[in-house]
Structure 1
């Protein structure tokens, strides 16, 4: 089963995203900050990470950069989910290594479509959930 890490410090958004992904058949590991996100990636490499940009401790950008630096997780697909909508913010997200960038407020259906599209580009996860 495809596992997706959801890291967002807003419990309501974290719960909504987790519910939508679980409803679609994914296994979800949900955490509330960047440090927990990195710990989760290191403990059990998920198939994809959905990271809030602005989290306490480590930001989503910090987490993404660290994921890219570590050989075990360097190719882990990352989707940024954030309220930061300025062109520079989006460019920074992609420059840090994000595979996609979804802005808040967001449509849960669109996020699910983007998750499926990113996973479809990854040969190992293409056949899951």
Structure 2
């Protein structure tokens, strides 16, 4: 079972996104801060990180840039999503800091699962290609 680290500004109760990812067959670790996320990446070795732009500690762009600095997580698939920062410049910034995908909120749940599945297929293909 693949493990997803889901970083979102609201942790009080499982969001529909987290629940939908779990129904789709993923183990989801939900956290509210970038600091917790960086610690969890080192300790839990998730298979992918999905982060909101607005998270406690640093923004999602900074979180992705920090992840890319660590050799053991340099190839970790990253997805950034945001309901506020939706313009083309934010999408470009997401790609510049190493995210493979940028999703504008509200995220269609089927689209989110399809994106996660597609990124896992791409990641597997890239690893096989060497």
The structure-2 alpha-carbon separation of the partners of 1:87 and 1:54, relative to structure 1 and needing over 3 Å to count, comes to: same
Gaps of 5+ in 2: none
**Shift in Å, 1:107:** 0.6
Q: What do residues 31-80 of structure 1 show as CA deviations (whole Å, max 9, x unaligned)?
A: 01111111110111100000101112111111100110100100000010
Bigger helix share: 2
Could you list the structure 1 runs, at least 4 aligned residues long, displaced by more than 3 angstroms after superposition: 11-14
SS in 2 for 1:9: coil
The equivalent of 1:58 in structure 2 is: 58
How far off its partner does 1:13 sit?
A: 8.8
Q: How many residue pairs were aligned?
A: 125
**Residues 6 and 17 of structure 1 are in contact (CA less than 8 Å); yes or no, is this contact kept in structure 2?**
no
Is the aligned partner of 1:96 residue 2:101? no
Structure 1: how far apart are the matches of 2:71 and 2:13?
30
Query: Scaled by the length of structure 2, what TM-score is found?
Result: 0.90
How far apart, CA to CA, are the structure 2 residues paired with 1:12 and 1:20?
17
What is the DSSP-based 3-state SS (H/G/I as helix, E as strand, rest coil) of the residue aligned with 2:81? Answer: strand
Residue number in structure 2 paired with 1:6: 6
CA RMSD between the two structures = 1.8
The CA deviation string for residues 96-124 of structure 1, in whole angstroms up to 9 with x for no partner, is 00000100111111111101111111129
| Structure 2 residue aligned with 1:123 | 124
Secondary structure in 1 aligned to 2:95? Answer: helix
| Alpha carbons of structure 1 residues 102 and 24: separation in structure 2 relative to 1, 3 Å | same
- What is the CA distance between 1:14 and its match in structure 2? 5.5
Residues 41 and 109 of structure 1, relative CA distance in 2, 3 Å threshold: same
Gaps of 5+ in 1: none
TM-score, reference length from structure 1 = 0.90
Aligned to 1:44: 44
